[in-house]
Amino acid sequence: MFTTETIKPRAVFDFHIHLMGEKRIDAEFLAFARDWNMPFAVSCLGPEGHMIANPTINECRRCNDLVIDLMEKHPDLAYGFCYVSQEHEHLAVEEVRRCVRNGMVGIKLWVAAKCSDERTFPIAEEAIISNVPILQHSYLRWKEILPGESKPVDIVQLAKRYPKLNMIMAHMAFRWKEGVDTVKECPNIYVDTSGFDPELGSVEYAVENLGVDHVLYGSDAPGRDPVCQLGRVMAADISAGDREKILHINAKKLLGLAGGAA
Partner 1 sequence: MIIDFNAHYGREIGTTAGCGVEELSRIEKSAGVDKIIASAFGGESNNQPFPGNMIRFIPIDPAFDKDQLDLEPFIKGIRIYPTYHPWDFDSPAMADLLSLAREKSSIIQVYLRLQDPRAMPPAVPSATVIEALDSIIPVNSDIRFVISGATYLEIAANPAPFRYNNAWIEISHVQHPINSLPKLLDIIDSSRVLYGSGAPVLYPYVGIFRILNSPISQDIQERILTRNAIDLLGGI
CA distances from 47 to 20, 23, 146, 247 (A): 7, 11, 21, 28
- Of 211, 234, 257, 260, which lies in the binding site for partner 1, with binding defined by CB under 8 A? 234
Q: In what order do the strands lie in the sheet with 40-43?
A: 14-18, 40-43, 78-83, 106-109, 134-136, 167-169, 189-192, 215-216
74 lies in the site for partner 1, by CB under 8 A: no
80 near partner 1, rule: CB under 8 A: no
What DSSP string runs through 77-114?
A: TEEEEEE--GGGTHHHHHHHHHHHHTT--EEEE-SSS-
Distance in Å from the first CA to the final CA of the chain: 32
- Please state the closest distance from residue 57 (CB atom) to partner 1, in A: 29
Instruction: Check binding of 7 to partner 1 (CB under 8 A).
Output: yes
**10: contact with partner 1 by CB under 8 A:** no
Residue from 10, 53, 58, 228 that binds partner 1 (CB under 8 A)?
228
Nearer to partner 1, 137 or 224 (CB): 224
- Alpha-carbon distance values, 199 to 61, 69, 86, 187, 212 (Å): 36, 36, 32, 25, 18
Minimum CB distance to partner 1, residue 257 (Å): 24
Binding residue count for partner 1, defined by CB under 8 A: 34
Closer CB to partner 1, 163 or 231, in the complex: 231
**Span near partner 1 by CB under 8 A; candidates 81-89, 192-200, 210-218, 243-251:** 192-200
Per CB under 8 A, does 53 bind partner 1? no
Query: Nearest 10 degrees: CA dihedral of 220, 225, 228, 233?
Result: 30
Q: Give the residue with the Cβ less far from partner 1, 129 or 200.
A: 200
- The amino acid at residue 48 is E
By CB under 8 A, is residue 236 in contact with partner 1? yes
Q: Which of 88, 151, 175, 245 binds partner 1 (CB under 8 A)?
A: 175
Per-residue burial over 243-262, b = 16 or more CB atoms within 10 Å of its CB, e = otherwise: bbbbbbbbbbbbbeeeeeee
Contact call for residue 197 and partner 1 (CB under 8 A):
yes
The candidate with the shortest Cα–Cα distance to 44, out of 71, 17, 25, is 17
Listed ranges 39-47, 53-61, 84-92, 198-206: which one lies at the site for partner 1 (CB under 8 A):
198-206
Q: For residue 146, state whether it binds partner 1 (rule: CB under 8 A).
A: no
Residue 57: closest CA among 83, 21, 22: 83
- The continuous run of DSSP H or E covering 25 comes out as helix 23-36
Residue closer to partner 1, measured from CB, 214 or 232: 232
Binding status of residue 196 toward partner 1 by CB under 8 A: yes
Sequence letter at residue 71: M
Q: Does 44 bind partner 1 (CB under 8 A)?
A: no
Q: Which spans of this chain sit near partner 1 (rule: CB under 8 A)? A: 1-4, 7-8, 25, 28-29, 32, 141-142, 174-175, 196-200, 221-228, 230-232, 234-237
